[in-house]
Structure 1
Amino acid sequence: MTISDALHRLLLDNLTTATILLDAELRLEYMNPAAEMLLAISGQRSHGQFISELFTESTEALNSLRQAVEQAHPFTKREAMLTALTGQTLTVDYAVTPILANGATMLLLEVHPRDRLLRITKEEAQLSKQETSKMLVRGLAHEIKNPLGGSRGAAQLLARELPEESLRDYTNVIIEEADRLR
């Protein structure tokens, strides 16, 4: 069973993973729509452009790509910072796979954006901290409320036992402050 070029193209065009194919000189051969969306550039207009004209990362990354072509050695990079032509900085993971085609080595880049995942992880951690704080405050309020009720009750009993009405001013202050704190 042979799969036609049109079917290959259809499959690549419908992937949600950003996929970029570079020739041996690190010039763009193909970019699927997911890569176009991620980098905010047109694959057709960018065809033949050098990789650093599409996005920039670092000199070391460019050297790693050249080395991948020369040695046909695949590699993966985690949390790389790409700067798109628009100036937007993207945090991505990408895998580079050398492919031998017509006697030349091409590079297949699979790019996975991490910004959204990192933001979700950060928000989840923040929600967890808020929940922990809420539970701590509830526990603290409970621990304060119980002895406060005991102090209020003791002040009421003491007020009944006091011989002079003027001394009850002090117990009334205790009762009022306990009510206010509660």
Structure 2
Amino acid sequence: TDMVKATLMIVFDVEPGEDAETYRLVLGERNVPTSAEDVVYVWFKGQKSADGQFRQLQIQEPLIMDGQWASYERVGKELGPIINNIVLSGEYLDKEGEKWSFTDEGKATFPGENAFYYEVSLIRDGATCDYIEAEDLKSPTGLAYYGFRWTDSGTVQIFNANLEGGAVLCQSQPFAELTPM
């Protein structure tokens, strides 16, 4: 997936390639006998570790990336905590000296508010900013949205945001600017 488009196919087989450490996946749309003309081949390069697992792959993806090679690394845990850690996790102080926090596990605390669960959105289609989706049981969708932007000075600005016509739109001015602790 490229976080906007995704393809779901059945893996029929993994075949060795002619070159060392090359393979191809044989894919089909349904789990039924399929002719060679109707399968999709996805080439990849990889080296198995001592336990027989692939830890890093180079994949020539034909369906979404138009045959370009892409690098993948097995991280060994769920994607959400990894994204949170890279993008936003940490403890911060605002201009009034109040503490804010975002954890790898997706729990956030804002001053004077109850802790809530959040997720960094990887879909920016139509959005006017990077944003998190937060649990909000009072909202019709069950979600609230907060935009964020890292500044050149190393602070992160937090914006109120709304869902309009399927797109997340951030207000033009941040309601908080946070400095990492």
Bin the TM-score by the shorter chain.
Answer: under 0.3
Larger RCO (CA within 8 A; separation ≥ 6): 1
Work out which of the two has the higher radius of gyration on C-alpha atoms and give 1 or 2: 1
TM-score (ref. length: structure 2)? 0.26
